């Protein structure tokens, strides 16, 4: 990708983000209920209300309000949460790292296990194992994260209680952390007890988010591998006496990984959206579980901040995946 390509892509991304801002701003202006009415005390006079209205800029036109808001956002000021009475940037900054650790753990799990299933399926072509793997994976493809999360609650929370049902870590093990990335920090400090506790708490949400990703990667990658396995260069390798394993991993995989990569990018953004409900089911203190509370409490500044955080994340992932697949696609690099 050349520099001008990158710039135009960045510009398009900013335009999309601006669109997200416009949509979210308009949407929240039509929310029934007056934010001022929720703030004032019963003894407030009409003059007080007018003053408060002017203080928050609510007496101006929608357009003026939008310009002021977007100006503040551009400077990194997302306002204060109404329900939690703290700056939105602080709240999102506290919760986002927990969600990021969760989704990246789920991404790693999904890619590794999906890749292993695809390779296993390709190696077991024309054996009874292949249709069995396909059947199980076909079943898994229909199960969304919401159902996985609840099935896991039953399985590993009740039937065979190995993992804790809620939270990010046990209150008793909490030590002082220098960063909000507790898992990574405990890994770097080699604090094994804390690390295992956090991993145990993350296990079920990671599985719930990662299993749908794993099954879709398994299917797409296996189809691409099967296609690659009948190409001439694989045939040549086979004539040279390469082992089946080496043909799959050394030859076919490199050519089959492209379509899977762009699919993984799209699915990864879906998975990040899934944190909203999965974090809620496991009371995991990330940005997703905060989002639903913000909506229920009609906390407009917080909702705006969270959605812009999600939007930025989605667009960033899209750009990274585009850049990666450009690099991997030989037709575009050699062309």
Partner 1 sequence: MADLSKTLNAILREPRAATSCCFLLLLVTLAIFAPALAPRDPLEQDLMLSALPPAWIDGAEPGFLLGTDDLGRDIFSRVIFGARIALIVAVAASFFAAAIGSALGLIAGWYGGWADRIISRLIDVWMAFPPVLLSVLLVAVLGSGLTSVIVAIAIIDWTRFARVVRAETQAQAGLDYVTSARAIGFPQGQILMREILPNVAPVIIALISLQMGISVIVEAILSFVGLSVSSDIATWGGMIASGRQLINESWWVLVFPLIALFLTVLAFNLLGAGLRRALDPVMRR
* Residue 120 within binding range of partner 1, rule CB under 8 A: no
The answer to whether 146 and 205 have CB atoms below 8 angstroms apart is no
Nearest to partner 1 of 65, 166 (CB atom): 166
**Piece of 63-71, 125-133, 141-149, 191-199 that binds partner 1 (CB under 8 A):** 141-149
Query: In the range 291-320, which residues lie near partner 1 by CB under 8 A?
Result: 291-292, 295-296, 298, 303, 306-307, 310-311, 314-315
In the bound state with partner 1, the residue whose beta carbon lies nearer, of 142 and 178, is 142
Residue span binding partner 1 (CB under 8 A) among the ranges 14-22, 183-191, 257-265, 326-334: 14-22
The residues, ordered by sequence, that sit 6+ positions from 186 with a Cβ below 8 Å of its Cβ are: 194, 195, 198
Q: How would you classify residue 126: left for phi > 0, otherwise alpha for psi between -120 and 50, otherwise beta?
A: left
Establish if 204 lies at the interface with partner 1 (CB under 8 A).
no
* Residue number with CB closer to partner 1 (167 or 177): 167
The upper half-sphere exposure of residue 301, i.e. CA atoms within 13 Å in the direction of its Cβ, equals 22
Q: How far apart are CA 294 and CA 304, in angstroms?
A: 10
Buried b (16+ CB within 10 A) or exposed e, 269-283: bebbebbbbbbbbbe
b/e 109-136 (16+ beta carbons within 10 angstroms → b): bbbebbbebbbebbbeeeeeebeebeee
By CB under 8 A, tell whether 153 contacts partner 1. Answer: yes
Of 24-43, binders to partner 1 (CB under 8 A) are 27-28, 30-32
Residue 276 binding partner 1, by CB under 8 A: yes
Q: Are 60 and 29 spatial neighbours (Cβ–Cβ below 8 Å)? A: no
**Binding positions for partner 1, rule: CB under 8 A:** 12, 15-17, 19-20, 23, 27-28, 30-32, 139, 141-144, 146-147, 150-151, 153-154, 157-158, 165, 269-270, 272-277, 280-281, 288, 291-292, 295-296, 298, 303, 306-307, 310-311, 314-315
């Amino acid at each position: 990708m050349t520099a001008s390509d990158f710039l135009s892509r960045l510009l398009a991304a900013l335009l999309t983000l601006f669109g997200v801002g416009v949509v979210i701003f308009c949407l929240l202006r039509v929310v029934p209920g007056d934010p001022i009415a929720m703030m004032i005390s019963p003894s407030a006079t009409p003059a007080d209300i007018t003053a408060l209205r002017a203080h928050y800029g609510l007496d101006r036109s929608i357009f003026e309000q939008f310009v002021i808001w977007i100006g503040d956002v551009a400077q990194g000021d997302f306002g204060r949460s109404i329900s939690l009475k703290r700056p939105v940037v602080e709240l999102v900054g506290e919760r986002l790292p927990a969600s990021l650790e969760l989704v990246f753990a789920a991404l790693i799990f999904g890619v590794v296990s999906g890749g292993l299933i695809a390779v296993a399926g390709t190696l077991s072509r024309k054996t009874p194992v292949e249709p069995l793997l396909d059947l199980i994976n076909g079943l898994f493809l229909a199960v969304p994260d919401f159902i996985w999360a609840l099935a896991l609650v039953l399985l590993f929370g009740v039937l065979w209680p190995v993992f804790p049902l809620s939270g990010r870590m046990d209150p008793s093990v909490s030590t002082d952390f220098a960063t909000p990335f507790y898992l990574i920090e405990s890994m770097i400090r080699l604090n094994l007890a804390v690390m295992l506790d956090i991993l145990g708490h993350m296990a079920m949400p990671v599985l719930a988010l990662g299993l749908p990703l794993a099954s879709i990667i398994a299917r797409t990658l296996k189809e691409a591998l099967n296609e690659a396995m009948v190409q001439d260069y694989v045939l040549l390798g086979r004539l040279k006496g390469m082992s089946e394993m080496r043909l799959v991993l050394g030859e076919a995989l490199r050519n089959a990984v492209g379509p899977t990569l762009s699919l993984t990018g799209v699915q990864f953004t879906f998975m990040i959206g899934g944190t909203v409900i999965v974090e809620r089911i496991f009371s995991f203190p990330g940005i997703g579980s905060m989002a639903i509370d913000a909506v229920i409490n009609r906390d407009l500044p917080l909702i705006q901040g969270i959605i812009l955080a999600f939007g930025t994340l989605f667009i960033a992932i899209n750009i990274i995946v585009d850049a990666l697949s450009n690099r991997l696609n030989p037709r575009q690099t050699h062309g």
